[in-house]
Amino acid sequence: MNLRSDKRLNIQGELDFSSSGPGEAQEPRGKESESPPATHEHESPARTDRVMEEICDWGNLKEAMWQVKANKGSAGIDGMSVDELPDYAELLVVRDQLLVGTYEPQPVKRVEIPKPDGGIRKLGIPTALDRFVQQAVMQVLQRQWDPTFSDSSYGFRPGRSTHQAVAQAQQYIAAGYGWVVDLDLEKFFDRVNHDKLMGQIAKRVGDKRLLRLIRAFLNAGVMENGLVSPSVEGTPQGGPLSPLLSNLVLDELDRELERRGHRFVRYADDSNIYVRSERAGQRVMDSIRRFITKQLKLKVNDKKSAVARPQGRKFLGFSFTGGSVIRRRIAPKAIERFKERIREITRQGRGVSVERIMAALAPYMRGWRGYFGFCETPSLLIDLTGWVRLRLRAILWRQWKTQRRRRAMLIQLGVRGRLAAKTAASGLGPWHLAHSKALHIALSNAYFRDRGLPSLFEQC
């Protein structure tokens, strides 16, 4: 066996990507964690100028590869999926390029997706190989930087979640801070100033190879309709490194709010500051807007920002009740998006069996319950579950079509003959009859539960 083959086998042993993940320390990103928040420590300068060696450690690379494969995602401009990442010998070349500072990222692929509340979100999808490199960089920098971030920052941080952010906001409101300065940054990810960002990174990183690499990722450009456009500002959404860099940019805002003694919660570019009066809120809005514009070189979205009662605003899909006891509730827009998605799935009822429709509904409803089940208004979850069942009853009624078949199906499902005949002969529409006694007997809650339709509230 020659030296090259022997080296390849050694690398294969180091990067056994077929093994299980690295354990609890690296959870899939979509999973909400309720572990204790990170401890806020004072920022310290970079301790070493050899961070790249830590990034290129085989253990860190293995963890990065596992995470990139677990995250899946679409291919970049080269068309290569995460399952088709270069073999181990090519990864050795990449590792050598990182260590000598010659690695060159490729442009990201422009992808546009609709926002839930209207508009378009532009994503920049890096190649699978660039995602792997970004993930390896992010893991090391996050371990170094995260302990220095504010306790009031919750987005894209290990051990922190949207639910924790909402619960903290609830505590401020309950403590008497009954007005919110709701700040939304306009096109935040598209407007980040590269020079200012690199200046922030240079305060924490002394390794010139890593600084060049991050600058190269920022300047890699965007491919759209076959043409590559240069990147002069912004951090494209879609890569593993972008969320960490966004937290670094907005850490300056967090520190300013802390210096002023404000009670606030920030999740990514969504910041809520809680004050005791509308007048105080307007003063804070004006001064913080000036700080964001002059110091951060960013812009506040005036259409989406406001000083208001928290009950009239939404935060991460939630809002709050009024009165002496503040409870978490689901924001009206989130409810409407839920109903619209259910309508989309159930509109296919004419040519599709109800079993197939319920199979399509189940994962969406379970995911929705996993997030919005954090609300403290269970009656709404019960009502929404009932509304879904009504739509399914109406679909089945249409599918039974004839009066004779409807009567036979009702009797088969336990409805007495007279009631079955009267309901089958009714000229009322499917939605009206979905509320009828006969269909509630035949198509009971248990009927849907036994066929795999989840409830949004466990007890209903």
| 323-369 residue pLDDT tens | 899 999 999 999 999 999 999 999 865 678 899 999 999 999 999 99
State mean pLDDT over 87-92: 70
Q: Does residue 71 contact residue 134 with C-beta atoms inside 8 Å?
A: no
Contacts of 23 (CB under 8 A, 6+ apart): none
State mean pLDDT over 253-270: 96
Structure tokens at 356: 């197939």
What DSSP character marks residue 300?
B
User: Among the listed ranges 65-69, 76-80, 207-211, 276-280, which one has the minimum average pLDDT value?
Assistant: 76-80
Q: Which amino acid is at 69?
A: K
Reported as a single tens digit per residue, the pLDDT across 197-206 is: 999 999 999 9
> Would you place residue 27 in the very low, low, confident or very high pLDDT band (cuts 50, 70, 90)?
very low
- Please indicate whether residue 73 or residue 281 has the higher confidence score (pLDDT): 281
Strands 306-308 and 270-275: unpaired
Contacts of 63 (CB under 8 A, 6+ apart): 22, 26, 136, 139
pLDDT reading at 51 higher than 80: yes
> What pLDDT, on a 0 to 100 scale, did the predictor assign at position 89?
56
pTM summary value? 0.84
> What pLDDT, on a 0 to 100 scale, did the predictor assign at position 206?
92
State mean pLDDT over 366-394: 97
> What pLDDT, on a 0 to 100 scale, did the predictor assign at position 373?
96
Count of beta carbons in the 10 Å neighbourhood of residue 151: 13
What DSSP character marks residue 315?
B
Residue 96 phi, psi dihedral angles, 5° rounding: -65, -40
